[in-house]
Amino acid sequence: MYTGVSTAPLPFKQWIWKNRIYLFVYFIIVLVQFTWFKWLFPYPSFFPDSNSYVEAAYYNQAINMWPIGYSRFLQLFAFIAHYDTALILLQYLLLHVSIIYFLSTVIYVLRPGKWLTGILLLFGVANPILLHMANFVSSDALYTALSIIWITQLCWILYKPNNWLLFTHAIILVAVFTVRYNAVFYPLISFIVILTADTSVKRKMLSVAFSSILLAAFVFHTLHVYKIQTGYNQFSAFGGWQLSANALLPYSYVDSVKAGEVPQKFRQLHGFVNEHNKALATSPYRNDRVLGIYFLWDGNSPLRRYFAAHGGNKTKTPNDFFRRWAKQAPLYGEYGAYLTKEYPMAYTQYYLWPNLIRYYVPPGEFLDVYNMDRDFVEDMEKKWFNYPTEKIFTRTKDKKISYMFVYPYFLAAVNLFYVLGLIGFLTLGGWKASTRYYRSLLVLVLAIWSCNLGFSVLASPIVLRYQVFPMLLSFTFGILLIAYVIRQAFYPQQSEKPALYQ
């Protein structure tokens, strides 16, 4: 019976060196793909987030609309060069180094066999979404790479923990947390894994304490800077705006409550909301009833109009705009929480349920088209990368990425295979037949998958680029679980072998 335990005779580093020819071929293919891709798309792809990240790096801001980690990454890279192709190459290589670290760990520890190993490596190397994601000036590639390293380190902590691994894991944990707050549940999972690892109590306590100190330092620093710049203790101003935007969509479906009937601090804002809903009541197509970015960024949304009425359009510098924008966040967050509490059924029906469907088949959003279908960049992006002109070009027929439409359905199939594989594995006795390590690994993956599902649905409208890391995780373990089910169903006589085909 396949137990999920390695009998590899060599230590991991020696095993890697022994199989270096495969790594060499893998990265040759990666570089050839990159060269061809950059010939087609000589410039990075930019979208609204890009400008914010570059702006924060250019002005050395301590806080920004988005977590500050990627802007710090841009600043660090700027010590080497402001060359855009070098930045994109670094992001692409970080993705593939993290993927090969993860897949090598899975192959070394779980020994899936030649056929499954080939499938996993092919999925890693021949995956065009990685090229397009790395080509963004955005935190997506860095967040995905750090997340893959994070889960791989957890696999090793469960397998064979040591001081260096626990130390570097704390660094990676904090790094990924500063890059995107989707990692908000990562510390809890890391701490549970560390506390259940096969190592001394002293080592566990020191590891958890060190990680906690680093995380607390970042959180309290962020709170302190927000307090100085906006007058409010808050960790993420964008969270307040997003919470309100999420609540306003379902509120557009209910009968309006008069402004005088809501708490005093919300009345003026609520008046803007009711006026907005009344103006669109007879409209055949309402942007405010489509999951997306309408309430956050559209100038006609009540949140933007209220912001403009309170000086939002009178700012002279990016820092001034951000401070005014962030000052609205506490009110918007409280207002969003109030509407959600008042209309829980509408919130469930018109926000949570549609967003759950989007999780299953997420839209490609900015991945579907290069550079938002524009042939120019913003002035800030032009300055940062030292472009002679704001005009950019591609060598493709148009800017549409035609094959990207496959990925939402591919992700839906991957998640379905993972769930069915897990059910089949449990039904066919895989749990009892597996070692404690393999069971722990399956629980870890399920915990990450479940937390990502819950956070993604609750936090904001889901898009494809946020789900690349979970897609890799679901594909890898879905393949392993499905292989077990197939072997038990059709090849029971080979049940003692460690993989479907040897």
**Structural element, H or E, at residue 310:** none
Q: Is residue 265 domain-resident?
A: yes
Neighbours of 219 (CB within 10 A): 12
What single letter denotes the amino acid at residue 230?
T
Are 453 and 344 part of one and the same domain?
no
Residue 45 is given by DSSP the state B
Q: Given the structure tokens 């060499």, which residue do they identify?
A: 24
Q: Which residue has the tokens 């000589």?
A: 42
- One digit per residue, pLDDT tens: the chain, 502 residues? 344 444 556 899 999 999 999 999 999 999 999 999 999 999 999 999 999 999 999 999 999 999 999 999 999 999 988 899 999 999 999 999 999 999 999 999 998 888 999 999 999 999 999 999 999 999 999 999 999 999 999 999 999 999 999 999 999 999 999 999 999 999 999 999 999 999 999 999 999 999 999 999 999 999 999 999 988 889 999 999 999 999 999 999 988 877 678 899 999 999 999 999 999 988 888 888 889 899 999 999 999 999 999 877 777 777 788 889 999 999 999 999 999 999 999 999 999 999 999 999 999 999 999 999 999 999 999 999 999 999 999 999 889 998 899 999 999 999 999 999 999 999 988 888 888 899 999 999 999 999 999 999 999 999 999 999 999 999 999 999 999 998 887 766 655 444 333 2
> How far is it, in rounded angstroms, from Cα 113 to Cα 4?
12
Domain that holds residue 267: 237-360
Residue 502 is predicted with a pLDDT of 29
Q: Are 334 and 421 part of one and the same domain?
A: no
Contact 125, 29 (CB under 8 A): yes
The answer to whether residue 178 is domain-embedded is no
The residues near 485 (Cβ < 8 Å, ≥ 6 apart) are 421, 424, 425, 428
Angle between helices 267-279 and 237-251 (to 10 degrees): 50
Token couple for 485: 């089910």
338, 360, 382: which is the final residue of a domain? 360
Do 356 and 243 belong to one domain? yes
The domain boundary, picked from 309, 340, 360, lies at: 360
Of 360, 393, 425, which one is at a domain's C-terminal end? 360
Instruction: Give the DSSP H/E element, type plus range, for residue 9.
Output: none
User: What's the rounded Cα separation, in Å, for the pair 459 and 287?
Assistant: 20
Same domain, 346 and 280: yes
The pLDDT value recorded for residue 497 is 44
Asked if 312 and 245 sit in the same domain, the reply is yes
187 inside domain: no
With 0-12 / 13-18 / 19 or more C-beta atoms within 10 angstroms meaning exposed / middle / buried, residue 317 is: exposed
Residues 337 and 425 in one domain: no
pLDDT at 97: 97
Angle 448-363-457 from CA coordinates, rounded to 5°? 40
Residues 344 and 456 in one domain: no
Longest dimension (CA), the chain: 75
Q: Domain for residue 7, yes or no?
A: no
Same-domain pairing of 343 and 446: no
Question: How many angstroms separate the Cα of 439 from the Cα of each of 132, 201, 471, 472, 478?
Answer: 35, 22, 21, 19, 15
What is the model's pLDDT at position 416?
Answer: 95
Cβ 396 vs Cβ 135: under 8 Å: no
pTM passes above 0.85: yes
State the total domains in the chain: 2
One domain, residues 353 and 241: yes
Shared domain check, 413 and 306: no
Mark whether 355 and 407 lie in a shared domain. no
One-letter amino acid of 102: F
In a domain, 197, yes or no: no
Q: How far apart are CA 16 and CA 21, in angstroms?
A: 9
